[in-house]
Structure 1
Amino acid sequence: MHDAAPQTTRQTDLMDPARANALLAALGRPAVIETGDPLPPFFHQLHFWDARPPVALGRDGHPRVGGLIPDLGLPRRMWAGGTLDFLAPLCAGIPAEKRTSCESVARKTGRSGPLAFVTLRHQVMQEGVLCVDERQDVVYREDPAPGAPQPVPPVARDDEDEALPAEFDSTLLFRYSALTFNGHRIHYDADYCREVEGYAAPVVHGPLLAQLLMLMAEDRAPLRRFAFRATAPVTLGETVTLCRKGTDAWIRGVDGRQCMSAELSF
């Protein structure tokens, strides 16, 4: 375990309702958000863009590490999971502030080699009230060795009370990348995916998968907390099943693998 950098970044955003409506439209939902309306859970991801010039980006299209996230010498980045507490309504069209700090950095050795786990804390304030308190877990790892076998994913449960199919085409991945200003090449550059990071095809965004589980849960009751962990990638063209049983939620691939697990609090 390493001490995190004693640094906090602050960003402000007007929380334009047009972005919320654009994501709702991309997901096939009615675009009904107006100024003053509470945003759906996790929609703060559409705001507080970290827009940097090309010279400040890494090879993967993400902002280059260093500063808030230290350079750990591990080139591959993946959003591994996180916990979100929804403490007060975050409303569209009202200025908000996001404060981000690095809480911890831990190095480990896994079956695929050295890993580093970074936990970022994001606090979103509006009119002096803490609305969202989020801990984001990011994992960094080495490039895959040529011919290395893929990790064996866990098997998903099949005892859900609620199930919804979800499909991912290139248009949805493009629109989500654009709305979140996410330049990570694993989501759109097929050659980079195969030749550099070892994926068979472009990868569906982990937060997009989490977003779909949150919306499914929010359709039943307001969420107070959502804790999730990505366990296997979903790639372009796949159809998966969003599942829920009580306060447990998960995503199952057509081959039965578990792609994401989550715990809900209402």
Structure 2
Amino acid sequence: MQDEAPSPVRQSDIMDPARAAAFLATLGRTGTLAAGDPLPPFFHQLYFWQARPPGDLGRDGHPRPGIGAIPDTGLPRRMWAGGRLEFHAPLIAGTPAEKTTTLHEITRKDGRSGPLAFVTLRHEITQIGQARVTEWQDLVYRNDPAPDAPAPAPPTAPRDEDICEEAEFNSTMLFRYSALTFNGHRIHYDLDYARDVEGYAGLVTHGPLLAQLLMLLAERELGNLRAFSFRATAPLMHFETAQLCWKTGGTLWVRGPDGRLCMSASAH
């Protein structure tokens, strides 16, 4: 299939502080956010919703590929594989902002499970005429798993961290995060779909939610972040407790309860 570069997608949002405050509550964090306050890093995920009518959605609840900035790769299964961000200045709650999304790159490979399509989107967010955030979002598309296919062995997480904090998840938290980010991906709230169609053991904890928790940990240790990158390496189920790990120098990772590496990251 020929991959054609779609036109850039431009959106605007008022950056409602109530939505950011609701996210803090969802995370169990104290504090308030009001108009004029700087938003924590990565909170722009709460904004710039892409609200599409039901006819524009695919079977997984996402807008169908070919609508917006993502071309149709012909592969049905989507995952957020990772990304990298540059923080030029904090976004301000209650102040209109603009986001421009373009297709940065698309590559195709043959993996152990079959064909793969890697799609990278570039997001530029400006506010009051100033560049605030540049983000590269890496997505991977693949076929459904064969019913008898063994799950790939995940990498093992390091155990030499300087800080280790537990994070628990459940279906309510995943639903609230999906609602706040207007993420319709059914693997996060539809257990039958996640298990029977995409082959997961449970609901999948959002990759960007794990990245968000690592970013907040990094910000606590480093102060204002200039850059952050992350890569998802294994899914974490909603019933599993994760360990958020920090190593002095800006290396972070998420360790699953069996010691597997679910996400690696770096911050500075």
> Are 1:223 and 2:228 counterparts?
no
RMSD, aligned CA: 1.0
> Are 1:156 and 2:149 counterparts?
no
| Equivalent position of 2:266 in the other structure | 263
Contact 2:3 2:72 in 1 (8 A): no
Aligned pairs, number = 264
> Are 1:36 and 2:36 counterparts?
yes
Structure 2 matches for 1:116-135, cutoff 5 A? 116-135=117-136
> Are 1:251 and 2:248 counterparts?
no
Secondary structure of the structure 2 residue equivalent to 1:21: helix
State the TM-score, normalizing by the size of structure 2.
0.97
Distance (Å, rounded) in 1 between the aligned partners of 2:103 and 2:31? 34
1:3 Cα deviation from its structure 2 partner: 6.7
Contact 1:100 1:122 in 2 (8 A): yes
| Equivalent position of 1:183 in the other structure | 184
1:31 Cα deviation from its structure 2 partner: 3.8
Contact 1:22 1:31 in 2 (8 A): no
Contact 1:4 1:102 in 2 (8 A): no
1:195 Cα deviation from its structure 2 partner: 1.0
What fraction of aligned residue pairs are identical, expressed as a percent?
Answer: 66
5+ residue gaps, structure 2, are: none
5+ residue gaps, structure 1, are: none
| Equivalent position of 2:113 in the other structure | 112
| Equivalent position of 2:210 in the other structure | 209
Contact 2:121 2:137 in 1 (8 A): yes
Distance (Å, rounded) in 1 between the aligned partners of 2:143 and 2:31? 41
1:6 Cα deviation from its structure 2 partner: 5.0
1:222 Cα deviation from its structure 2 partner: 1.3
Distance (Å, rounded) in 2 between the aligned partners of 1:225 and 1:112? 33
Secondary structure of the structure 2 residue equivalent to 1:140: strand
State the TM-score, normalizing by the size of structure 1.
0.97
> Are 1:233 and 2:238 counterparts?
no
Contact 2:20 2:46 in 1 (8 A): yes
